[in-house]
Amino acid sequence: MTKTALVTGAASGLGYELATLLAKDSFKLILVDIDAESLANVKAELEMKFSVEVVTLVKDLGIKNIAEAILHDIKNEPIDVLINNAGFGLFGSFVDTDWERESEMLHVHILTTTHLTKLVLEGMVKRGSGKILNISSLAAFQPGPLMAIYYASKGYMLSFSEAISNELNGTGVTVTALCPGPTETGFQKTVSADANTNKITFNMASAKSVAAYGYKSMKKGKIVAIPGILNKFLATIHRFVSRAMAAKIVRNIQEKNRNK
């Protein structure tokens, strides 16, 4: 029997790479993204390469109750794998950044992710099987001046994933938080002050390798997945320096990498 996977932010980057891995494993795909043209291209590519069924939903995950609309559109089809990948960043001092854009980020990273997980999880538990992969970040492990909302929201995604993973022990359902460091996706260009220059080059991983690591970790039911030895170390930096010092270090990096 064909299994079904739902992937948000599937038109590019990690979402695209994860959708490709699922297609290789013969999943029926429900791909969600705000970029209609890119989403259509991904659908055509995956259907041609892997002969799988691909359903696309063009949705803005930054609006209220969009999770319910997604489940309504797919007629509450049982979901075997849920990948909450959609997200974006915003650079700047909190006092100066645009609240509307920040509100959208909070909806995408927190409200929509949480609501979609809740709606899908009930069926998974009843069936006694299912896997959820939430894309968090290395940013989840420390405060992030000049990207305060992004870092905080990724911290939420990590904590939320760890908590419900514990609650789901013995149900047959697993939850994995993937926490990559800098990754070669469109994120770096859109979040930097100079959109034409990707200044972060140190410790940069490919989206393909990060997706492969996350997908393998999800299949194993790993709770927290941090790709890369250096990133694993950086995730523990709070053990060696105060959070205030960690915040200073992060701010220094942000100012050098993202300012014009």
pLDDT digits (tens, 9 = 90+) for 140-163: 998 889 999 999 999 999 999 999
| Number of domains into which the chain is organized | 1
Return the higher-pLDDT residue of 205 and 158. 158
Interval 84-122: pLDDT, tens: 999 999 999 999 999 999 999 999 999 999 999 999 999
CA 82 remoteness from chain centre: 11
CA 21 remoteness from chain centre: 15
Average pLDDT, the chain: 91
Q: What angle do CA 238, 224, 230 make, to 5 degrees?
A: 50
Domain extent at residue 87? 4-258
Return the higher-pLDDT residue of 195 and 203. 203
- Residue 194 to residue 210: CA distance in whole angstroms: 25
Beta bridge partners of 33: 58
Least confidently predicted of 15-19, 78-82, 175-179, 238-242 = 238-242
DSSP one-letter string for 56-103: EEE--TTSTTHHHHHHHHTTT---SEEEE-------S-TTTS-HHHHH
pLDDT score recorded for residue 174: 98
pLDDT score recorded for residue 187: 56
For residues 81 and 5, the answer to whether their CB atoms sit within 8 Å is yes
Residue 27: phi and psi, rounded to 5, are -75, 145
pLDDT score recorded for residue 202: 59
Return the higher-pLDDT residue of 256 and 39. 39
- What's the CATH number where 102 sits? 3.40.50.720
pLDDT score recorded for residue 195: 46
Q: Is the pLDDT reported for residue 22 higher than 90?
A: yes
Q: Is the pLDDT reported for residue 207 higher than 80?
A: yes
